[in-house]
Homo-oligomer: A and B are copies of this chain.
Amino acid sequence: MADALIRSKKPAASTRTPAGGAPTAPHSAQEAAEPRIDVDAVTDMLLGTWGRTRREAREMIKDPAFWQISGQTVAEHRERVLGQLRLLVENGASARAYPVEYGGLGDNGANIAGFEELVLADPSLQIKAGVQWGLFGAAIQQLGTKRHHDAWLRDAADLTLPGAFAMTETGHGSDVAAIGTTATYDPDTEEFVIHTPFRGAWKDYLGNAALHGKAATVFAQLITGGVNYGVHCFFVPIRDENGEFLPGVGGEDDGVKGGLNGIDNGRLHFDRVRVPRFNLLDRYGQVDASGAYSSDIPSPGRRFFTMLGALVQGRISLDGASTTAAALALKIAVTYGNQRRQFDSGAGTPEVVLLDYGKHQRRLIPRIATAYAQAFAHDEFLRKFDGVFSGRTDTPAEREDLETLAASLKPLSTWNALETIQDCREACGGSGFLAENRLTGLHHDLDVYATFEGDNNILLQLVGKRLLGDFAKQFTGADAGTLARYAVGQTAGKLFHGAGLRRLGQTVADLGSTARSVELGLREDAQHELLAGRVQQMVADLAARLRPASKLSPAAAAALFNENQAELIEAARAHGELLQWEAFTDALHAVTDGGTLRVLTWLRDLFGLSLIEKHLAWYLIAGRLSAQRAASVTRYIDRLCARLRPHAQDLVDAWGFAPEHVRAPIASGAERARQEEAAAYYAALAASGEAPVSEKSLHKKR
């Protein structure tokens, strides 16, 4: 499966752009003899299946017209990003997912890959483009049928028709099924009446709603013949040619936000606004002229989730963009940490480079490992998505797996991006707080990724329920052997691969002839056993604890579930971590270059062991690690950090960011130049014989 990873195209010329223009020098003579990664080959791995599209997008956004400008007013920033959307159209980068006949390329995977790279230019651009083409346009494409495509898709694609995606309400966020907006069918006029019955049902936090949207895809309870058929989506014009609200439509600006201020988020409400029956995006549910409702999906619940699932690409692109943003932050902080010096070591040597400090390594290097794991998991995720949405592998089961993957990976990567960016910010000290060095802006903009497109905790809870459901379906009364296979094959591998047992553990076990015995006990197969075993046991434990629920009153069952909610979410997180670890390991198995394999194996080990260390108490309590072995996990991580330290720059350079993508002065080599100037000053002073002596040396003389 993983060989798809090496399918990506290798460019003729190297795209490697080391920090400050200087090559990454070995850290010591010993290191010069050690393995190094093939940076260009790793770039290919990281860019993944749609590497060519990613390179196109990166080339495009080298144009400063795409870059975020710190300190712009909200109004200026909004206009700038609107202009950038027009540039995307001009560059043919707006609608790769749409069918060719509507100006697209019909390439779902490339579409997401291209959008994700926009985060390097300005996250507001990424998200506003996502609103226009990935939500508003995608609702028309995915929830509508050909006549809707004919009517609106081309205009959406070329931004003739900017639109809002009106799902969330002030009173209901992640619980979309409970929204209050109604769309009541009037057979007399063959119209739907879109109505906001109370303040909590105002549509809220909608990009393009405050200013630029001319229409909206409005989610509302479809009522016909006195029956509520649940949430459906309607195309509703909202503004006239002059940008004034149409009759019955009103709204408000959401004002300043904690980030993403290039997007005009706002509120919308509807006072009995009538739209033709035609405007129901009716791929999954139709209303005929008489008002009779029909759908291919009889279950209201399944129909609802199918409609929502058609919009999964939002979550996918957040997973990818968060990974890229975390990688950018690491590129900045590692480059600076490799140049900045602070404090002498007390050994009479020059001041120490930050990344030579044990604590600094511990802060940053495991984060590199996580970003790599996320990138590999994301590429598998994106291929799964492309398979389903291209129709090649479009089955209900595949769609359900895709949903679970999205709900597993998006929370982990969005949270990890915030933590990584924050650590990088702090690792750069006061310089990290200057807007020009980008770390604070990335944090501000990505903050909301943790709660939009589905609150992270709610998504993980969905995953947890799926894990419990799979468990209940297959393993009621099962023996221990069955459970073990469940852990190894079902919970994780199946989602990516749709197949049974995974065979891991042989490929690299013979690498480390000098490795200590304890390390051998924490190699690939042991890591997998520990990570997969934890998922399995947590799910089994939860299932056992929740089993009495079926015999309880609904209220008592709900209370029992609630008592176990935090742990269910933890189990889902463990499952997502396992997926990421497996994707990293699959990627490793496709590597042929010896140095690359060795260094990336250390990095994957660091990822796996960091996960195990994070949950060390669990492993100890569960009796899966002895106290002695647990203590060795931390020591092994320390050794891996030290081993990877000379490769840190290579590993962040391998993301292939050009200076136009990094743009942070502290990662430009300026710091190194300043230090060289200072060193030259002191050397000249010493040579002049006019350097003041220190008071201490004076004391000694006395």
Contact = CB atoms under 8 A, between A and B. Distances in A.
Contacts of A257: 433-435, 440
A73 B70 contact: no
Interface string A343-357: 111111101000011
Contacts of A71: 73-74, 255-256
A557 B228 contact: no
Interface in A273-313: 298, 300
B440 A258 contact: yes
Contact of A630 (B450, B451, B620): B620
Contact of A356 (B170, B342, B562, B698): B562
> What secondary structure prevails in chain A residues at the interface with B?
helix
A422 B168 CA distance: 22
A533 to B, nearest CB: 16
A342 to B, nearest CB: 5
A434 B255 contact: yes
A432 interface: yes
Q: What size tier do the contact residues of chain A reach?
A: 35 or more
A448 interface: yes
A544 interface: no
Contacts of A200: 674-675, 677-678
A674 B171 contact: yes
Interface in A392-435: 418, 422, 425-426, 429-430, 432-435
Contact of A444 (B230, B258, B298, B695): B258
B426 A451 contact: yes
A447 B442 CA distance: 13
Given A558-B346, A623-B627, A678-B180, A433 B457 contact: no
A441 interface: yes
A700 to B, nearest CB: 12
A359 to B, nearest CB: 5
A230 B695 contact: yes
B342 A198 contact: no
A563 interface: yes
Interface string A313-329: 00000000000000000
A227 B677 contact: no
A306 B256 CA distance: 45
Nearest to A442: B258
B566 A358 contact: yes
B227 A351 contact: no
B630 A348 contact: no
A245 interface: no
A694 B358 contact: no
A525 interface: no
Interface in A214-228: 221, 223, 226-228
A359 B630 contact: no
A616 interface: yes
A450 B430 contact: no
A481 interface: no
A630 B622 CA distance: 11
A345 B168 contact: no
Contacts of A70: 255-256
A617 interface: yes
Contacts of A227: 692-695, 698
A174 interface: yes
Contacts of A448: 430, 433
Contacts of A171: 674-675, 678
Nearest to A615: B617
Contacts of A638: 563, 566
Given A430-B173, A440-B259, A681 B198 contact: yes
B358 A565 contact: yes
Contacts of A553: 347
Interface of A: 70-71, 73-74, 168, 170-175, 178, 180, 197-201, 204-205, 221, 223, 226-230, 254-259, 298, 300, 342-349, 351, 356-359, 362, 418, 422, 425-426, 429-430, 432-436, 439-441, 443-444, 447-448, 450-452, 455-457, 461, 553-555, 557-558, 562-566, 569, 613, 616-617, 620-621, 623, 627, 630-631, 638, 674-675, 677-678, 681, 692-696, 698-699
Given A180-B678, A258-B444, 14 more contacts: A170-B674, A197-B681, A198-B678, A227-B693, A255-B436, A257-B433, A258-B433, A300-B695, A345-B558, A358-B563, A358-B566, A359-B569, A426-B455, A620-B627
8 contacts: A168-B430, A257-B434, A300-B696, A347-B553, A356-B562, A358-B562, A432-B451, A617-B617
